Amino acid sequence: MAKWAMVIDLDKCTGCGACNVACKMENNVAIVDPDEAQSGRVMFWMDMMTSIEGEFPNIHARRVPKPCFHCDDPPCTVVCPVGATYRNPEGLVAQIYHRCIGCRYCMAACPFTAKSFNWYEPKWIGESSDVGNPDVSRRMVGVVEKCSFCAHRLQKVRETADLEDRPIRDEEYVPACMESCPADAIVFGDIEDRNSRVYRQSHNYRVFRYGEDLGVEPKVYYLARRTGT
């Protein structure tokens, strides 16, 4: 069985934020009004971790795209009281919005702050309310949501592959963030397939993972000439 994973090459990444926008549109992520967003209620499935170190003019800015890491041993799923978040056999950590009771224990347990909560009834302002992606269900107030590795795309791809009676080809199933990346910094695929690009990239000498010391086995790999960048 496939095990889906992602590699993000930080040496290629320009920090443009196209992945954030593409993700938001693809997954019908609600648009939070600016005041609320300022007070920490902003919703991103693909977040942009930004930090600036040093004093002007000697500053060192870091922009790191951060989706859910889809840990192989997820600390969030073990604490869920109702099984509304779980890890499926292909390694995708999924959410069941209609079962979630909104206790936010998974958010407290996630070491990477990957999850978002619907503090209010989610809104899609203006045109965005008419152009939603029909493949992704809209969430309701009071539930937790997060990056799904665009699992709805996997369903479509699998249907076609099954019809044609063949395995899913490498990079046939890719999430919206990878598709939109102008620098080709994001690579996605089956990490157990030795011929896939994601497998080769994840064995690059520049590779590192966040939270590797926690034993949660994240499936998002980063490439950078210096670790920690």
Partner 1 sequence: MKTKPPIDQDETLFRPIYETGRGFYVAFGILLLIFLWALYMYATQVWFGLGLTGMNEPVTWGFYIVNFVFFIGISHAGTLISAILRLSKAEWRRPITRMAEVITAIVLAIGGLHPILDLGRPDRMLNLLTAGRLQSPLLWDVTSITAYFTASTVYLYLPMIPDIARIRDRGGKLKWLYSFMAWGWTGTEHQKHVLNRAINILMVMVIPIAISVHTVISYIFSMTLQPGWHSTIFGPYFVVGAIFSGIAALMIVMIAFRKAYHLEEYLKEIHFRYLSTLLLIMSLIWFYFTFSEYLTGVFGAEPHEMQIIMYKFTGPFALFFWGMVFCNFVLPVIILSFKKLRTIRGILIASIAVVIGMWLERFIIVVPSLANPRLDMPTGIYIPTVLEWALFAGGISVFVMGFMLFSKFFPLISIWEIEEGRTHGRKEVEERIHSYLPGRARTSS
The nearest distance, CB 142 to partner 1, in angstroms, is 3
Alpha carbons 69 and 64: distance in angstroms, whole number = 13
Nearer residue to partner 1 within complex by CB, 52 or 131? 52
Enumerate the β-bridge partners of residue 95. 85
Give first-to-last CA distance, the chain, whole Å. 33
- Tell me which of 11, 14, 82, 160 binds partner 1, using CB under 8 A: 82
Neighbouring CB atoms inside 10 A of 127's CB total: 7
Enumerate the β-bridge partners of residue 93. 87
- Tell me which of 64, 136, 161, 168 binds partner 1, using CB under 8 A: 64
Tell me: does residue 152 bind partner 1 (CB under 8 A). Answer: no
Q: Which stretch binds partner 1 (CB under 8 A): 136-144, 172-180, 183-191, 201-209?
A: 136-144
At residue 149, what is the residue type?
A: F
Enumerate the β-bridge partners of residue 220. 6
Q: Which stretch binds partner 1 (CB under 8 A): 1-9, 95-103, 125-133, 147-155?
A: 95-103
- Tell me which of 3, 12, 87, 104 binds partner 1, using CB under 8 A: 104
- Tell me which of 11, 17, 39, 182 binds partner 1, using CB under 8 A: 39
Tell me: does residue 227 bind partner 1 (CB under 8 A). Answer: no
Tell me: does residue 137 bind partner 1 (CB under 8 A). Answer: no
- Tell me which of 66, 70, 146, 219 binds partner 1, using CB under 8 A: 66
33: tokens are 């009004």
The nearest distance, CB 140 to partner 1, in angstroms, is 8
Q: Which stretch binds partner 1 (CB under 8 A): 21-29, 60-68, 152-160, 198-206?
A: 60-68
Cα 89 versus chain centre, distance: 18
Task: Report H helices in the chain.
Answer: 18-26, 34-36, 105-109, 151-163, 176-180, 197-202
Contact (CB, 8 A) for 3 and 192: yes
Neighbouring CB atoms inside 10 A of 226's CB total: 9
Contact (CB, 8 A) for 39 and 127: no
At residue 109, what is the residue type?
A: A
Residues 172-211 that bind partner 1 (CB under 8 A): 210-211
Which of 197, 206, 208, 194 lies closest to 173, judged by CA? 197
- Tell me which of 14, 17, 101, 155 binds partner 1, using CB under 8 A: 101
Number of residues that bind partner 1 (CB under 8 A): 46
Query: Rule CB under 8 A: which residues touch partner 1?
Result: 36, 39-42, 49-51, 62, 64, 66, 75, 78-84, 99-105, 107-109, 111-113, 116-121, 141-144, 210-211, 214, 216
